[in-house]
Structure 1
Amino acid sequence: MGARPSSPLDKRQQQQLRGQVDSLLRAFLPCYRRQLAAAVLRQISRELGPQEPAGCQLSHTKKLPRVREHQGPLTLLRGHPPQWQPTFCVLRGDGRLEWFSQKEEYESGGPPLGSAALTGYILLTSQREYLCLLDDLCPSSSGDLAQEEPLRVLEEPVSFALFLVHPFRAHLCFCARTRGAQRAWRLNLQGAIRLRATGAWEQSRARVGGWRTTGMVLQRSRAPAACAFLDAVQLYRRRRGFAGGKDATLGSDAEVLSAELMRELLPGLRSQALRGLRGAGRARARACAEFLDAVHAAVLARASAGLRAFQPEKDALLAALERTVRAELEHILQQRAQRARRLQVEIRDALEACLCRMVDPQLSQLTLALLSPVEAMLGAVRTLLIRGMDRLSHHLRKNPSGTRLRREVYEFGEIPWDPELMQICYREAERNRNHLAQLAEPFGFLGMRSLVFGVQDVAQQLMADAVTTFLQLADQCLTSTLDCGQAAEQLEKVRGLVLKKFTSDSETTRWRFTRDWLLDIFWPFVWNELGVSYNLEQPEVDGDILATEGVCRDVIQGLLLQRIDGELKKILGACNRTCTRADCSVAQWNQEGVDEGATAQLLSHSSYPDEEGPKHWSDSRYEHVMKLRQAALKSARDMWADYIMFVDSDNLITNPDTLSLLIAENKTVVAPMLDSRAAYSNFWCGMTSQGYYKRTPAYIPIRRRDRRGCFAVPMVHSTFLIDLRKAASRNLAFYPPHPDYTWSFDDIIVFAFSCKQAEVQMYVCNKEVYGFLPVPLRAHSSLQDEAESFMHVQLEVMVKHPPVQLSQFISAPSKTADKMGFDEVFMINLKRRRDRRERMLQALHEQEIDCRLVEAVDGKAMNTSQVEALGIQMLPGYRDPYHGRPLTKGELGCFLSHYNIWKEVVERGLQKSLVFEDDLRFEIFFKRRLMSLMRDRMQVEHPEKAVPRVRNLVEADYSYWTLAYVISLQGARKLLGAKPLAKMLPVDEFLPVMFDKHPVSEYKTHFSPRNLRAFSVEPLLIYPTHYTGDDGYVSDTETSVVWNNEQVKTDWDRAKSQKMREQQALSREAKNSDVLQSPLDSAARDEL
């Protein structure tokens, strides 16, 4: 009975097959080489700018992914003709199934009758379903029916069947003795199939930032070669016109590649096999499967040999790429960025149309469909975890024997690998399989099997990590308990902590899993849609591989992820990080939870015996701070906190996401880079062998954010986060200093040394603006200096950010504003510039400066008749010295605003007045300095002449701005007496003319006398908030229209502006603390 080919593969067939496999390998290896280049580039880019997945709360299990070994008698359909024969089967921990003639043969170490690695198999338990599959495999009844009978042995009823089916491998048909045995084998076999498939899915998750497990060879690593292989398979499939899901990429490298080769060979092979087989129907179908199994074995052997032969070339290529990429990384990344920008412009409209037409209508429904099994799985895992922890606590309360307790602990630790217990979690993924398949079908997604395996694998991984965490914490706390009652109480605390960590990891997993699989469903479809019109693959074939490979994919996936993230935020909220934005928001930091055991002590000292002043850091003060930090660290450890964040009281954290962003970096010690008015920040890039600050070329690019990322540094201080979940953090201490410590007695250096001895790398991140800190003052400074320095930090925040608000839980003394001895303080502001007005009023309030708000004249709103009614005429021959244009309406309005103030000064007889514009920033100690000098300064082009016997005062030269100035009654009269409206020019050009310092002599001939006396402060007390060309730069004077022709628009030349280049030099000077020579402005120990 049955049917089989006379010979599975004759010599001619074997030779033909080798040629086909070699041809396919030659087509695949160029894809592999390209992807090796791209993978090495990604790896090195990650090293220089780490973008690691958010840190998990649960401890990661060190147990390898495995199948619980299972054995027992099964009846196997084997032989020719096939007959049901008793066997003894063993399922190995690595997912291989072996069968022996009898149990004694297995126990004596004899060889098995046969074996199969269960990669790519499907398990069926219905005989009817299996027979239908055979009918589909061989629908034709052609053949020599006279010579072979149908396969009647399978058509007879079979009890407790287990059918293992593969598209191109021999089918394995088993029968169990009882229903219970069938169920046990089914659960274990399903686990083995999933384990053998997990390799490809694990690697896919690692590439997009999801979960990653380690273990046997099937569990792929994040090494460039491992990443490159699966990318090469996908690229190869696209070039062959096939872009389905992930179900064709299951197993080891050789298995994945042989499966891909078999997919291409299968149509021809099946036709060839059926022509040469005898028999009918199902008998021919089984014979065909046996023939394909022989072919697959030959293909697998040839593919394995091909990959082994490629290994030396691959190793040499990886080494060469490592050298090339590291040497030219910056240039390569620039080229890729340019390519990405061009591509975005090219495909933006077509991509947007594709997304709106196909993706958007299905996105919400698919997201909910994916979330449903994940959330059900997470709930089932949580229930099973709670049941296991409660069972262990119950047995502990009953004071069991040591042997019984060890058995209970072992059983608890085995929960993740017990298929019977985990089945309740696994089946949630199966329930939604058909619904998901229907929704994904329009997008050609064929990876449903991998998706189901993925949900089940996440369930097992979460359970394994939760069990590991519980056992670790329980072991730590139980070593110090005295009796079972105490131990049970400790376990209750551990239970609550583990559930808290599990909840956090569940939220992260839910977000990421859904996000990654939505991307896998949509992006191949979108790629194919765009590829028809744009031939996306071709540009990546030409030119520099490193500069082009994967750019198209990255651009499309990036735009897709924006859509997906937006949908997930609508459904789930912003919980894609381990710590949600709501949990970590500055606005949410309140007094909730103060009754949960957390205590705080207000410790202060009025003075230290060895201090020289309130700002002197003596050894006693350093020691006191170290003890406070150590007490805080101990308190955090005692309450089982996951993290502790240290923030100096004068550091201002302005980014509400700072905490969640730091947690997402997954570092043991990490600091957000804080900005200051100088080059000073809260990290060092270099440290001498004696523990002192060392200047390095790397500091300034990081400080200026020319390089962005998260960088390894020898020192962070002031504000930083410690991840207490990391084992290495247990060796960190602020006090007492390490026994080997011999460096300077300084709290930040002591802690840096502790990190060094514990082999904990410190990191500083500058990816975003996180906050600000003051530049430390010298030891001789006063508390008033410190208060004004801190207040100046608040002013700096307001330049580009909302003002820092006082906490509702603290109070501050009220402020009393004055006019600093002036008769009047004017502040000019356009009514439509509300943001500037509010910032300036707040800044003046903080400095206790009283002002009168003056509504500026809006030149853009003035019409020709209004200009003529005022008798305004432009100065003959005037041209802007930088752009060569005439006066603008913006400059006209600015002049009139100042002109109206000069008139008021004269009308009211004000002896001395101070005028502010609304786009300035104050230098430190502004009020104190101004009150002592009573003068203003304009920025100069050439050195200015000092005024005898007056410190910090010079005679003014040509100015750039009228940001702020002091004007006397006599000076106002001189300016009005020049009749400037009849020969108008910009106010910052008019003033140098009046004190006879304008470089254009033609302008000066129109004004006489030019006897205005002008002085300037050196160094500066104010600067503009933005220089020409800065981000956020807006000019109401230059971005305008010509004063007498509204059709002629004006703007500053962004490419050729000489004014911009000169202001950039001034900007660098303004940000350089060395310019400020006042002793009040000196910086402390480590300021650059």
Structure 2
Amino acid sequence: MGDVVSTHLDEGRRQHIAEKTGKVLGEFCRCYKEQFGVALFNSVRYEIEGAGGPQPQLLHRKVPLEDHVIYSGNIFQYIEENKKWRNRFCVVPHNYGLVLYENKLAYERELPPRVLVNSAGYKILTSVEQYLELVNNSLPGVTPKSGHSPMLKCPTDFPLILWHPYARHYYFCVMTGKEQEKWRAVFQDCVRHCNNGISEDSRVEAPAFTAAIRMYRQCREQYGTWDMLCGNETQVLSNLVMEELLPELRNAIGPRLKGKAPERQRTWIQVSDAVYRMVYELAKAQYDAAVARCEQERPQLESTIRTDMDQIITSKEHLASKIRALHLLHPGGLMTPTSQGFAEVREVFFKEVTDMNMNVVNEGGLEKLVEYMEKLSHLAFHPVKMQSCYEKMDQLKLEGLQQRFDVSSTSVFKQRAQIHMRQQMDDAVYTFETLLHQELGKLQGKDDLCKSIQRILERVLKELAKFQELIFEDFASFILVENTYEEVVLQSVMKDIMQAVKEAAVQRKHNLYRDSMVMHNSDPNLHLLGEGLPIDWSEEYSGQPEAEPAAERRRRPSRTGHTGTVTCPWSRDPSRSRDTPGCTGNACAWS
């Protein structure tokens, strides 16, 4: 910790930070313990009743596309230590963490990176003016006078700034507007996926956590959506603490900052980042302890639930019947962006496969297919190509929802929908490559290959699955009064939301519910095809007798800079923890 920061964070203030963090985490953990039992009941009930949704029509990729680079390229970064701009080689691995190397040679030699960024909670700014406005608002009363040098000067007209309300900021720039749009899409993809850092596979811990966050905030009369519910559990808890702690520190430390306005702003950002890291470590320790205590009690709780399941369900239904008196919501602004999202995913997929088909026929047949199929397999993870799909949800407006249920922002719904768009695209691509792989052994020449690709494309377009759970997460049923009340509210909202989704999905221009046409000589049950090993197009069809190992081939970036692999930088230094804010936490695939 630097001397300037240490001056403002003496022992007494650190003790206050620890006490404040302990108080917030103590109250949260009480909520978590309550919600853990409720979530456990829902999980056991789900298991016993066998409640499941309809079988999806598209295959789901069981083995993730790991060990490849989503995007890579050179970008200028501002180095705060020496106040200089330096060219850096930026790599985005499959876990969407930003990894910055000294240069491309350092990356190829597997040298340690300069910076690792978990972008959860960050905003992407494309002008210095936007950034300075946020910085000026973060420290009231400290505004640079006219004519004074600002705290940040950009050498080009195309900056890209990662701004966080609590953590350190990152400054980048590029040479052209086209590059700026490209990198903005890349950074936004990283933010979107890092924000989604709480595992959805857990039927108990994840619902208990999100419900406990909601109940904690509602106890403080904060009923709206919360933009800082992003990242892994420890990041979310750190944001919860900082939301209450930072105003106190600002009032205590702000007046004592020295220097001109830009220097005071810079110091305040450093202090806030140092506090955020302290809170992160404290919150992680207390949350891990709370989870461990709940796990110890789990066997006894589960035994009680299984014994008294009928009585619990009866009590819950009786309580729900007493409070089921809400009007239905009519989200008029939902159908249009949902419909356009369906259409755009189809259009992007159709265009990529059609272009591939033309190029394969014109450039070399089956051997050329290898190169294009490897690119197509990463389509859902290509930030720039997927950007047009993501942008459709920017039109989402839920005025009725905001007025009736105090939803302050639609960003959480937009990002949720965008995550499903990516998954839907990947399912479509995986279904296509699985069917194509099945057909290749029967082909006789280029004409057969072209016809098969077209036939499979048509089949996949007719099997695009429903865009389920587009807006709201399934909050399960609760036995507590507060939770049961929320369930009734959510049921009334969900009914109209799903109706809008259904109306959007069955439009003639992209009807996703029509019966599928079974392709000639193909297996009509797609799910029988999804159990095998991942398809290695290069190994099977490249026609090269001495192809390099698959691991090496994936590691080396292609000419477009979108493939490769990243070795975990943390593994080279045992003293560094994967759970620190610099790592991607639960979303991290370094392990």
- TM-score bucket of the superposed structures, by smaller chain: 0.7 to 0.9
Which structure exhibits the higher relative contact order, with contacts defined as CA atoms closer than 8 Å and separated by 6 or more residues?
2
Per-residue Cα deviation, 1:693-716 (whole angstroms, up to 9, x for no partner): xxxxxxxxxxxxxxxxxxxxxxxx
Matches within 5 A, 1:852-931: none
Shift of 1:252: 0.7
1:233 aligns with 2:213: yes
Q: What amino acid maps onto 1:39 in structure 2? A: A
* Counterpart pick for 1:557 among 490, 501, 522: 490
Could you tell me how far apart the structure 2 residues matched to 1:639 and 1:276 are?
77
**What's the RMSD between the two structures over aligned residues?**
3.6
Shift of 1:77: 4.0
1:242 aligns with 2:222: yes
Q: What amino acid maps onto 1:552 in structure 2? A: Y
Matched residue, 1:189: 187
Does the 8 Å CA contact 1:134/1:282 hold for their aligned counterparts?
Answer: no
Q: Using a 3 Å threshold, how does the CA distance of structure 1 residues 244 and 279 change in structure 2: closer, same or farther?
A: farther
Per-residue Cα deviation, 1:615-656 (whole angstroms, up to 9, x for no partner): xxxxxxxxxxxxxxxxxxxxx7967685xxxxxxxxxxxxxx
Q: What amino acid maps onto 1:382 in structure 2? A: R
Shift of 1:42: 0.8
Q: Using a 3 Å threshold, how does the CA distance of structure 1 residues 47 and 102 change in structure 2: closer, same or farther?
A: closer
* Counterpart pick for 2:528 among 705, 727, 747: 727
Does the 8 Å CA contact 1:151/1:283 hold for their aligned counterparts?
Answer: no
Matched residue, 2:139: 138
Matches within 5 A, 1:384-533: 384-398=348-362, 400=364, 402-430=366-394, 432=395, 440=402, 443-502=405-464, 505=465, 508-509=466-467, 512-513=469-470, 516=472
Matched residue, 2:59: 59
Does the 8 Å CA contact 1:273/1:291 hold for their aligned counterparts?
Answer: no
Could you tell me how far apart the structure 2 residues matched to 1:72 and 1:729 are?
38
Q: Using a 3 Å threshold, how does the CA distance of structure 1 residues 118 and 141 change in structure 2: closer, same or farther?
A: closer
Could you tell me how far apart the structure 2 residues matched to 1:317 and 1:250 are?
28
Matched residue, 2:43: 43
Could you tell me how far apart the structure 2 residues matched to 1:726 and 1:411 are?
24
Shift of 1:100: 4.2
Per-residue Cα deviation, 1:181-235 (whole angstroms, up to 9, x for no partner): 43332221111111101235xxxxxxxxxxxxxxxxxx43132112211111111
Could you tell me how far apart the structure 2 residues matched to 1:222 and 1:306 are?
20
Matched residue, 1:376: 340
Q: What amino acid maps onto 1:461 in structure 2? A: Q
Q: What amino acid maps onto 2:78 in structure 1? A: L
Per-residue Cα deviation, 1:315-336 (whole angstroms, up to 9, x for no partner): 2122222222112212221222
Does the 8 Å CA contact 1:139/1:281 hold for their aligned counterparts?
Answer: no
Q: Using a 3 Å threshold, how does the CA distance of structure 1 residues 460 and 579 change in structure 2: closer, same or farther?
A: closer
Shift of 1:276: 2.6
Higher relative helix content = 2
Q: Secondary structure at the match of 1:226?
A: helix
Per-residue Cα deviation, 1:228-248 (whole angstroms, up to 9, x for no partner): 111111111112221221422
Shift of 1:103: 4.6
Could you tell me how far apart the structure 1 residues matched to 2:150 and 2:480 are?
62
Q: What amino acid maps onto 2:48 in structure 1? A: L
Matched residue, 1:79: 81
Q: Secondary structure at the match of 2:231?
A: coil
Could you tell me how far apart the structure 2 residues matched to 1:728 and 1:109 are?
37
Q: Secondary structure at the match of 1:84?
A: strand
Per-residue Cα deviation, 1:906-950 (whole angstroms, up to 9, x for no partner): xxxxxxxxxxxxxxxxxxxxxxxxxxxxxxxxxxxxxxxxxxxxx
Does the 8 Å CA contact 2:338/2:393 hold for their aligned counterparts?
Answer: yes
Per-residue Cα deviation, 1:297-332 (whole angstroms, up to 9, x for no partner): 001111111122234312212222222211221222
Shift of 1:153: 5.2
Structure 1 stretches lacking a partner, 5+ long: 201-218, 521-539, 585-592, 597-635, 643-723, 732-1088
Matches within 5 A, 1:814-833: none
Could you tell me how far apart the structure 1 residues matched to 2:400 and 2:270 are?
32
Q: Using a 3 Å threshold, how does the CA distance of structure 1 residues 65 and 265 change in structure 2: closer, same or farther?
A: farther
Could you tell me how far apart the structure 2 residues matched to 1:729 and 1:305 are?
40
Does the 8 Å CA contact 1:399/1:484 hold for their aligned counterparts?
Answer: no
Q: What amino acid maps onto 1:123 in structure 2? A: I
Q: Using a 3 Å threshold, how does the CA distance of structure 1 residues 398 and 237 change in structure 2: closer, same or farther?
A: same
1:19 aligns with 2:27: no
Could you tell me how far apart the structure 2 residues matched to 1:405 and 1:552 are?
55
Matched pairs, number? 525
1:296 aligns with 2:276: yes
Q: Secondary structure at the match of 2:196?
A: helix
Shift of 1:460: 1.4
Q: Secondary structure at the match of 2:39?
A: helix
Shift of 1:729: 11
1:318 aligns with 2:306: no
Does the 8 Å CA contact 2:456/2:519 hold for their aligned counterparts?
Answer: no
Shift of 1:119: 0.8
Q: Using a 3 Å threshold, how does the CA distance of structure 1 residues 41 and 89 change in structure 2: closer, same or farther?
A: same
Shift of 1:512: 4.1
TM-score (normalised: structure 1): 0.44
Does the 8 Å CA contact 2:128/2:154 hold for their aligned counterparts?
Answer: no
Does the 8 Å CA contact 2:174/2:180 hold for their aligned counterparts?
Answer: yes
* Counterpart pick for 1:276 among 247, 256, 260: 256
Shift of 1:151: 4.8
Could you tell me how far apart the structure 2 residues matched to 1:58 and 1:6 are?
56
Shift of 1:469: 0.6
Matched residue, 1:1048: none
Q: What amino acid maps onto 2:296 in structure 1? A: A
Could you tell me how far apart the structure 2 residues matched to 1:291 and 1:236 are?
27
Does the 8 Å CA contact 2:196/2:231 hold for their aligned counterparts?
Answer: yes
Q: What amino acid maps onto 2:216 in structure 1? A: Y
Q: Secondary structure at the match of 2:51?
A: coil
Q: What amino acid maps onto 1:96 in structure 2? A: G
Does the 8 Å CA contact 1:70/1:188 hold for their aligned counterparts?
Answer: no
Q: Using a 3 Å threshold, how does the CA distance of structure 1 residues 95 and 569 change in structure 2: closer, same or farther?
A: closer
TM-score (normalised: structure 2): 0.79
Matched residue, 2:96: 95
Matched residue, 2:234: 254
Could you tell me how far apart the structure 1 residues matched to 2:484 and 2:65 are?
34
Could you tell me how far apart the structure 1 residues matched to 2:354 and 2:522 are?
20
Shift of 1:141: 3.4
Does the 8 Å CA contact 2:98/2:118 hold for their aligned counterparts?
Answer: yes
Q: What amino acid maps onto 2:392 in structure 1? A: E
Q: What amino acid maps onto 2:526 in structure 1? A: R
Shift of 1:438: 9.9
Q: What amino acid maps onto 2:380 in structure 1? A: P
Could you tell me how far apart the structure 2 residues matched to 1:444 and 1:338 are?
27
Could you tell me how far apart the structure 1 residues matched to 2:429 and 2:528 are?
17
* Counterpart pick for 2:169 among 163, 167, 171: 171
Q: What amino acid maps onto 1:498 in structure 2? A: V
Structure 2 stretches lacking a partner, 5+ long: 533-591
Q: What amino acid maps onto 1:725 in structure 2? A: L
Shift of 1:453: 1.8
Could you tell me how far apart the structure 2 residues matched to 1:415 and 1:573 are?
25
Q: Secondary structure at the match of 1:99?
A: strand
Q: Secondary structure at the match of 1:240?
A: coil
Does the 8 Å CA contact 2:156/2:175 hold for their aligned counterparts?
Answer: no
Q: Using a 3 Å threshold, how does the CA distance of structure 1 residues 276 and 99 change in structure 2: closer, same or farther?
A: farther
Q: Using a 3 Å threshold, how does the CA distance of structure 1 residues 91 and 414 change in structure 2: closer, same or farther?
A: closer
Does the 8 Å CA contact 2:32/2:209 hold for their aligned counterparts?
Answer: yes
Q: Secondary structure at the match of 1:173?
A: strand
Q: Secondary structure at the match of 1:726?
A: helix
Shift of 1:457: 1.8
